[in-house]
Amino acid sequence: MQYCIFRYEVTYEDGDGIHGYVPYRGENTDEKTLIRFIKKYFAGTKPYHDEDIHVTIEKFYDDPKEWITEVRTWETFRYLQNVNNYGGELIAKYFPDEFPRK
């Protein structure tokens, strides 16, 4: 499993856009995988082209505890937790008093 934080930018067909930082964990951290992740959770419903999504890895983590310690209070992490319990087993393992979230 790989752990990182990456920046994303989505430019919509109308010229508007969104951007932010996202905590990510998964088997792959290649560009295509990260773009799929943004399309699934953050890109929204406004029309855009795949080539208008840009991702840049900002930081890798070797230790899952270091990663979860840094990202567990982020709004984007909490959103992912609410959607699919993203990182829930790490919260339970390293911060049992915070699990389950209410």
Domain ranges of the chain: 2-98
> What tens digit of pLDDT does each residue of 41-70 get?
999 999 999 999 999 999 999 999 999 999
Q: Does the structure show a pLDDT above 60 at 96? A: yes
Averaged pLDDT, 29-35: 97
58: how many CB neighbours lie within 10 A of its CB? 11
pTM of structure: 0.90
Q: Where are the beta strands (DSSP E) in the chain?
A: 2-12, 17-26, 48-61
Q: Could you tell me which residues come within 8 angstroms of residue 16 by beta carbon, excluding any fewer than 6 positions away?
A: 46
Q: What would the two tokens of residue 66 be?
A: 């270091």
